[in-house]
Amino acid sequence: MRRVDTPTSNLRFAAPKERRVAVITGGARGIGRAAALRIAPEGRDIVIADVLEAEAAETIAEIEALGQEAVYVATDVRDESAVHALVETTVERFGRLDILVCSAGILGKEKPFLEQSAEQFANVMQINLHGVYFAHQAAIPKMLAGGWGRCVTISSGARRGSPNQVPYSVSKGAVYTLIGALGGAWAKDNVFVNGVEPSRALTDMVVPRFSKEFLANPGIPIGRYSDPEELAEVIEFLCSERNTYTTGAVWSVKGAPG
């Protein structure tokens, strides 16, 4: 066991703070990248699972500059065998898998429902939902074997329904339900499954779609959209030993109630 010097806290049910291993899908950029850079300094080695090799290399260089190991595993989360191979590669390299962050996702086409093709719907669901499903099925047995695990998936307020984003909305609604379904399954085994739900974070998925004026005045109580790093703070907590009593929850990080 590789211990980390930083103490966990006085939480009596907290696991010992030690060097752990995290897989982050979609970790090359956006919220996944921010999560990787926030989780790594806590004594975590990071596996970036993505299809964006160049961006992943940049993220890995930043993680290594923090003194942690990081590797890139090219992974199309639509491919169940590729996701299982990702997990096996991680365990072969590091000997364990403790943390899973599912950040890989696409918005798809913003069009009215009647203009959304079945192919488009299937592609969004394969990445946003099936990829999350595959990752949890592959990773959780490793966490159970190690006696500790934390999983976090990015949800979206669009799960409540958006007429021009129906495939995306349905995928995020299903993810929300999946988190609730899995959250209590292994709680006594100290494997927790949670989610984080932003409004809009200033990422490559959001910024190109709106004017600077709109992004500066989004009409929510806090008066701005979030930086990915703000979401990463919540993700890191949910993935940490300090999280001793939260599972099956989707944390709202929206700058507003609800």
Q: Tens of pLDDT along 129-149? A: 999 999 999 999 999 999 999
Rounded Cα–Cα distance for residues 100 and 136 (Å): 8
The number of residues in the chain equals 258
Rounded Cα–Cα distance for residues 168 and 63 (Å): 31
Residue 180 lies in a domain: yes
43 contacts 18 by C-beta, under 8 angstroms: yes
Query: Which positions are annotated as active-site residues?
Result: 168
Residue 3 lies in a domain: no
* pLDDT band for position 223 (cuts 50, 70, 90): confident
Give pairs for 185-190: CB < 8 Å, separation 24+: 186/140, 186/143, 186/144, 186/149, 187/247, 187/248, 189/144, 189/147, 190/15, 190/147, 190/148, 190/149
Residue 232 lies in a domain: yes
Residue 239 lies in a domain: yes
- What pLDDT, on a 0 to 100 scale, did the predictor assign at position 256? 67
Residue 41 lies in a domain: yes
- What pLDDT, on a 0 to 100 scale, did the predictor assign at position 161? 83
Residue 1 lies in a domain: no
3-state helix, strand, coil in the chain (%, to 5): 45, 15, 40
CATH number at residue 97: 3.40.50.720
Residue 7 has pLDDT above 60, yes or no: no
For residue 81, the tally of other CB atoms under 10 A from its CB is: 10
Question: Which amino acid is located at 173 in the chain?
Answer: G
Residue 79 lies in a domain: yes
Question: Which of 8-12, 161-165, 173-177, 230-234 shows the lowest mean pLDDT across its residues?
Answer: 8-12
Domain region containing 88: 20-251
Q: Measuring CA to CA, which residue among 44, 62, 137, 60 is closest to residue 98?
A: 44
Residue 7 lies in a domain: no
Q: How many domains does the chain have?
A: 1
Q: Tens of pLDDT along 174-196? A: 999 999 999 999 999 999 999 99
Rounded Cα–Cα distance for residues 227 and 209 (Å): 16
Q: Strand runs (DSSP E) across 135-187, as ranges? A: 149-154
Q: Tens of pLDDT along 8-34? A: 568 999 999 999 999 999 999 999 999
- What pLDDT, on a 0 to 100 scale, did the predictor assign at position 205? 64
Q: Is 47 left (phi over 0), alpha (psi -120 to 50) or beta?
A: beta
Rounded Cα–Cα distance for residues 146 and 132 (Å): 21
* pLDDT band for position 157 (cuts 50, 70, 90): confident
- What pLDDT, on a 0 to 100 scale, did the predictor assign at position 248? 98
- What pLDDT, on a 0 to 100 scale, did the predictor assign at position 1? 44
* pLDDT band for position 210 (cuts 50, 70, 90): low
